[in-house]
Amino acid sequence: MMMSSKRYISKLLLSLILIFLLSIPITAIPSRSPSRFLGNFAKHHKTTDTINKTYRYDIRYFTQTLDHFSFSNLPTFQQRYLISTDHWLSGGGGGLNRFGPIFVYCGNEGDIEWFASNTGFLWEIASTFGALIVFPEHRYYGESMPYGSREKAYKNANSLSYLTAEQALADYAVFITDLKRNLSAEASPVVLFGGSYGGMLAAWMRLKYPHIAIGALASSAPILQFEDIVPTETFYDIVSNDFRRESLSCFDAIKKSWEEIEVEGKKENGLLQLTKKFHLCQSLNSTEDLSDWLDSAYSYLAMVDYPYPSSFLMPLPANPIKEVCRKIDSYPEGTSILERVFAGVSIYYNYTGTVDCFDLADDPHGMSGWDWQACTEMVMPMSSSRNNSMFPTYNFNYTSYQEQCVKEFGIKPRPRWITTEFGGHDMRTSLKMFGSNIIFSNGLLDPWSGGG
């Protein structure tokens, strides 16, 4: 017998909560300055072997409107999406058949195949629910390029101007509506999934398009990391705590290393020495580039500190922070801090041991679009506190943040727009009254949990 639609939806969501594991990858966006985002340093080698071939899907394209909210005569573009009807058409999940739900992963700032291969949870539960799976790609990432090519899409502020969260959500709304119509699946409930920025999109989509999706699983989604909603130190404090809880001496070594780098860099031939010491491919131009590189490693490690081996950002062992600290702590007394720190971050950047030299400007997943997003609407203020943080002390300064954006893109951010459009300051009330069926999952070690 068919369950009633309402009971079915409740059961579906309850089940999602019950079987939810920590297996959704926790991607994230450090934003101490506009140049911080997920992509940089995330994976050193451009290999394709991380695309897990065990998940079967078709790759298709949808003709998408470039500007949903205005009506100039702009060209359309091809939005890529992955689709799997294996479980849906086979009628899994107790004969639900074509009334099975549609699981939509809200693509975030990268190649959609990368996210698809790292969202095992969604694939694992799809058969239980007899769900259709779709992974629409976020505009301006992967292959979903307006104007026909990445080069043209990223040409200037004009061509980039449609790279916004609202436009991406509208893409998903139009895509899902069209897909359901084409499949005569109007009765199938839609459940949204997403991690990090994709999790923000999933939560916001449920708030803004409740007629399209019945619920969302927003994993590690820092929708409160805007303006003054959470303390700006939250992110780096959590990263630092993740290291301190493994080892205080490890925390201390990292905390001291920044000054060592400064001192070393100021010596004659200091930058060259640092280049050699850290096995960099290109000569260092400033100590800041090196500090950024190290900062990124620690931040990303905190985001993917899974208790099992993973290769989402980089090939990593289980509990990678424990491994990093074990390395740092394993040196005999008197070993230079920089040597120890280098050995530590090598766990992150070179766990496979195949890297000859490190390239600080590497962006394997094509995510530099985040720079643009951080310089327009995604202004997430971050500071590093003197006491709790192992990072260099840093106070968020909006003026210099804005200056950097004007310099890079010729554009001023709108730092208050996101909370105006999506809310945030009194989120508890909004969610209670309207945003039902949104599961915000946050691992407490995850630095984004503070804003999530």
Q: Which two tokens stand for residue 82?
A: 């992955």
DSSP string, 318-359: SSHHHHHHHHHHTSPTT--HHHHHHHHHHHHH-TTS--SSB-
For the CB of residue 96, give the shortest distance to a second copy in the complex, in Å.
20
Tokens of 236: 């780096």
- Using left for φ > 0, alpha for ψ between -120 and 50, and beta otherwise, residue 219 falls in beta
Q: Tell me the two tokens of residue 62.
A: 């949808």
DSSP string, 124-144: HHHHHHT-EEEEEPPTTSTT-
- Interior CA angle at 228 toward 222 and 229, to 5°? 45
Interacting span for a second copy (CB under 8 A) from 16-24, 82-90, 165-173, 288-296: 165-173
Closest by CA to 102, choosing from 119, 122, 79, is: 122
* Least Cβ distance, residue 166 to a second copy (angstroms): 5
Residue 430 touches a second copy, criterion: CB under 8 A: yes
Does 428 sit near a second copy (CB under 8 A)?
Answer: no
For a second copy, what does the binding mask look like between residues 55 and 74, x meaning CB under 8 A?
A: ----------x-xxxxxxx-
Question: Shortest gap between Cβ of 361 and a second copy (angstroms)?
Answer: 25
Residue 187: how many CB atoms within 10 A of its CB? 9
The Cα–Cα gap between 324 and 306 comes to 13
| Smaller CB separation from a second copy, 1 or 187 | 187
Helix (H) or strand (E) holding 219: strand 215-219
Count CB atoms within 10 A of the CB of residue 330.
11
* Choice from 46, 211, 356, 444 touching a second copy (CB under 8 A): 211
Which residue lies nearer to a second copy by CB, 20 or 209? 209
Q: What sign results for the dihedral spanned by CA atoms 136, 140, 146, 152?
A: negative
Our finding on whether 84 is near a second copy (CB under 8 A) is no
By CB under 8 A, is residue 423 in contact with a second copy? yes
Single residue of 157, 248, 272, 357 touching a second copy by CB under 8 A: 157
Which of these segments, 88-96, 191-199, 201-209, 295-303, binds a second copy (CB under 8 A)? 201-209
Given a contact cutoff of 8 angstroms between Cβ atoms, the answer to whether 38 and 28 are in contact is yes
| Only segment of 97-105, 135-143, 155-163, 301-309 that touches a second copy (CB under 8 A) | 155-163
Nearer to a second copy, 15 or 420 (CB): 420
Please report whether residue 319 would count as binding a second copy according to CB under 8 A. no
Q: For a second copy, which stretch binds (CB under 8 A), given 163-171, 266-274, 343-351, 392-400? A: 163-171
**Measured between alpha carbons, how far is residue 104 from residues 171, 428, 452 in Å?**
12, 25, 21
28: helix, strand or coil: coil
Is 134 a binder of a second copy (CB under 8 A)? no
- The H or E element spanning position 263 is helix 248-266
CA angle 50, 321, 251 (to 5 degrees): 145
Residue 183 binds to a second copy (criterion: CB under 8 A): no
CB 19, min distance to a second copy, A = 25
The stretch near a second copy (CB under 8 A) out of 207-215, 253-261, 281-289, 350-358 is 207-215
Nearest distance from residue 35's CB to a second copy, in Å? 18
Is 330 an interacting residue with respect to a second copy (CB under 8 A)? no
184 near a second copy (CB under 8 A): no
Minimum Å gap between C-beta 376 and a second copy is: 4
174 binds a second copy (CB under 8 A): yes
d(C-alpha 182, C-alpha 175), whole Å: 10
- Segment 212 to 251, residues that bind a second copy, using CB under 8 A: 212
Q: Give residues 360-419 in contact with a second copy (rule: CB under 8 A).
A: 376-377, 410-411, 414, 416-417
Residue 180 touches a second copy, criterion: CB under 8 A? no
Alpha-carbon distance 22 to 25, whole Å? Answer: 8
Residue choice 32, 44, 139, 208 for contact with a second copy (CB under 8 A) = 208
Dihedral (C-alpha) 200, 438, 103, 90: value to the nearest 10 degrees? 160
Two tokens, residue 339: 């040597």
Q: 63, 336, 393, 436: which one contacts a second copy (CB under 8 A)?
A: 436
Q: Which residue ranges make up the site for a second copy (CB under 8 A)?
A: 65, 67-73, 157-158, 160-164, 166-167, 170, 173-174, 177, 207-212, 376-377, 410-411, 414, 416-417, 420-427, 429-430, 433-434, 436
